[in-house]
A and B are shown apart, each in its own frame.
Chain A
Amino acid sequence: MKNILRSAALVVTLTAAAFAVQAHNVWLLPSSTVLSKADWITVDAAVSNDLFFFNHRPLALESLSITAPDGSIVQPENMAKGKLRSTFDVNLTQTGTYRLAVINEGVFARWKDKATGQVKRARGTPDNITSQVPADAQEVEITQSAGRIESFVTVGKPSTLRPSGKGMELIPVTAPSDLVKGEKASFNLLIDGQPARDVEVTVTAGSTRYRDKVGEQTIKTDANGQFNVTWPAAGMYWLEANTHDSKTSVARAKERRLSYAATLEVMP
């Protein structure tokens, strides 16, 4: 009984998180993005309306993955989930660029119950989603999703990032530690390791609570999946991109929704 309740609760949270991705800002906020030498950082993670304020929900960190400059995986410490934000610490021991990523993968199903005509929903994995949909279900729609929420922290000299080749991701051309007000920075957007062409990327400065207009910049990736951003001011920025394609790994899924979000710090 307890297990059933727990998994039910999990489904509710995950679904809520999935919807939240559509409507809210999801982000990781590191205490520092540039460090002179090996040190600890602490990171806040939240789903919010304002950037970067904790005012809605904590970000689920079950799928947090921290990659060290040498490609090894680093375990977070002191992970905690509050009512409005999650938090964790990372011990940065290597020189180079660390990649903090929350990678969400899921499959949603939506159908009409044959007997009652009611709309039903389920969330699962590519392996178990089909078993959750009744055989006689009508108007079945299955959608796959791949989301990535990231930030980058550099100790000393930045190092290059290797693409994971899965879902949508950002590979900086200008190192994330070298973003400066008034200077142009270049990035490559990839989908499954290939250039993401013609995808709209929005860039929003933090502290949205203190201004009347969101003032986001919208940029399109070029034929090589590259885009440039010129930073109007120093501060924390939130970068987001959403798209969809039909490259699903579930036979009955017609669409794959891809999302990407990153927190970047721009220096004066």
Chain B
Amino acid sequence: MQVRYSLALASLLGAPAFAAGLNVSIEVPRLDVAEYHRPYVAAWVERPDQSVAGTLAVWYDIKNKGSAEGEGTKWLKDIRQWWRRVGRELQMPVDGVSSATRPAGKHQVQATEGSVQLPKLAPGAYKLYVEAAREVGGREIVSIPFQWPPAKAEQASASGSSELGEVKLELKP
């Protein structure tokens, strides 16, 4: 009931009152391995020509031992596809995008259109990518295609099989 009310209110006020955006839920699976390190994870949005519309999140070792960019930047290249597509263009840390690695469990990433994470998107086809790389472990990439702007609230999901669990994308018009 509450939900319906706020939706109605939103349509009354018109679109500009609430900026469109997307929520991504990323599951870091619990792994039974002898040597475990939390994975480095990047989530980003690509256009059909493989150019990057925005990096939603980067999780890496941000421990600061004298360098502002953090200890883990040396291994950012292991998030291979993200590194090639956009990672190497960025100067770490990026406010509102980069943060520490996460433990096993489900984590939420929220991005509003027009922010550092997600600049204004031209209408068209896009793909959400989530890539995880783990020290002395494996690498996995999961993608979800979507259309922008969404006509209504939409959900889509995909699942990894080794380094990522469920990845859920929620579009907010």
Contacts and interface: CB of A to CB of B under 8 A. Distances in A.
Contact of B74 (A39, A267, A268): A39
A39 B83 CA distance: 17
B25 interface: no
Given A36-B77, A37-B73, A177 B84 contact: yes
Nearest to B69: A37
A137 interface: no
Interface in A25-41: 34-37, 39
Nearest to B72: A36
B49 interface: no
A73 B169 CA distance: 49
Contacts of B84: 177-178, 180, 267
A268 B131 CA distance: 13
Contact of B77 (A35, A178, A180): A35
Contacts of A267: 80, 84
A83 B159 CA distance: 51
Contacts of A172: none
Interface in B79-103: 80, 83-84, 88-89
B75 interface: yes
B76 interface: yes
A177 B83 CA distance: 10
Interface residues of B, number: 11
How many A residues are at the interface, by size bracket?
10 to 19
Interface string A136-157: 0000000000000000000011
A232 to B, nearest CB: 18
Nearest to B74: A36
A34 B83 contact: yes
Contacts of A36: 73-77, 83, 88
Contacts, number: 24
Nearest to A180: B84
A13 B71 CA distance: 46
Contacts of B83: 34, 36
Contacts of B88: 36, 156-157
Contacts of B89: 157
A267 B81 CA distance: 9
Interface string A56-87: 00000000000000000000000000000000
Interface in A167-192: 177-178, 180
A39 B139 CA distance: 23
Contacts of B74: 35-37, 39
B137 to A, nearest CB: 14
Contacts of A268: 80, 139
Interface string B130-153: 000000000100000000000000
Nearest to A177: B84
Interface in B119-173: 139
Nearest to B84: A178
A35 B88 CA distance: 9
A34 B78 CA distance: 9
Contacts of A39: 74
Interface in A184-216: none
Contacts of A177: 84
13 contacts: A34-B77, A34-B83, A35-B74, A36-B73, A36-B76, A36-B77, A36-B83, A36-B88, A39-B74, A157-B88, A178-B84, A180-B84, A268-B80
Given A36-B76, A36-B83, A177-B84, 18 more contacts: A34-B77, A34-B83, A35-B74, A35-B77, A36-B73, A36-B74, A36-B75, A36-B77, A36-B88, A37-B73, A39-B74, A156-B88, A157-B89, A178-B84, A180-B84, A267-B84, A268-B80, A268-B139
Interface of B: 73-77, 80, 83-84, 88-89, 139
Interface of A: 34-37, 39, 156-157, 177-178, 180, 267-268
For the complex of A and B, the 10 pairs showing the least CB-CB separation, nearest first, are: A36-B77, A36-B76, A157-B88, A156-B88, A34-B77, A36-B74, A267-B80, A36-B73, A37-B73, A178-B84
